[in-house]
Structure 1
């Protein structure tokens, strides 16, 4: 009797383990997606460098972190495209006061809002989309470029995470 109880335990353990492995194996892009084209995002902001900065970060990280090869738009299995909707720099984030109780900003933040989608060009299906994605970066006075890089890095991280967990 003890022997059959041990066998039952092993069978149930095996089924449980198989179920867990199946559950954790999900995510990622479909297996036929091997190449990607990252398109320059439309830029509806007055900040002209945003488009290029985001494009460069996206191309580097999509290839390195998702393991996809870059391809021309017409030959790629998937495309990443989007629109930069808003760029709000110079938002006071931290203050200090001098002897005369004059408050001055010591840290600022900026916000970037955009729409993004990843499209499977083989099927025409949208694999992942995010409308109104908002990211922030903080920076010291007169260091806006640092805050912009921080916010754009967060945007790219969100897109990569979305692509990896889209199922």
Structure 2
């Protein structure tokens, strides 16, 4: 019962400030007890940026920094069957995101974003829900930092 989708990003031009040509993506902070989701999120965002060819991703000192902090992780029952047994669970991951213009020293985008993923625990495991939630987060981050312009 996993929900998934494929989104293709296409840009004919960017309206980011003209001096922003590179982005650095520091390590994602994780204040939750769920170890490893920060690395998975960073990998997804990094791969999305490199696939877009809108900005060059650099190790350090980018014209913009993408700062991400995972602040909420939850895996809770979502739907029950007629007998009261859990059918599906919902994974929710929330992150604080700031896309900062390092030349002007100001945030271009700053918000708290949530992604969620529902999985049927009888046929899937929590990694399915985490993957869906992280995919939603990645899409929101990309839409709000690059394609939102």
TM over 0.5: yes
Q: Out of 66, 77, 92, which is 2:77 matched to? A: 92
Runs of 4+ in 1 over 6 A off after TM superposition: none
Whose helix proportion is higher, 1 or 2?
1
Q: Out of 67, 78, 89, which is 2:64 matched to? A: 78
- 1:7 corresponds in structure 2 to none
Larger Rg: 1
- 2:25 corresponds in structure 1 to 38
Asked if 1 retains the 8 angstrom alpha-carbon contact of 2:73 and 2:94, the reply is yes
Aligned pairs (5 A) from 1:1-16: none
Paired with 1:26 and 1:69, the residues of 2 have a C-alpha distance of 15
Unmatched tracts of structure 1, length 5 or more: 1-24
TM-score, normalised via structure 1 length: 0.74
TM-score, normalised via structure 2 length: 0.82
Q: Out of 118, 123, 139, which is 1:138 matched to? A: 118
Asked if 2 retains the 8 angstrom alpha-carbon contact of 1:119 and 1:126, the reply is yes
Query: Does 1 or 2 have the higher relative contact order (CA < 8 Å, sep 6+)?
Result: 2
Q: Out of 129, 134, 154, which is 2:136 matched to? A: 154
Unmatched tracts of structure 2, length 5 or more: 1-11
- Tell me how many residue pairs correspond in the alignment: 135
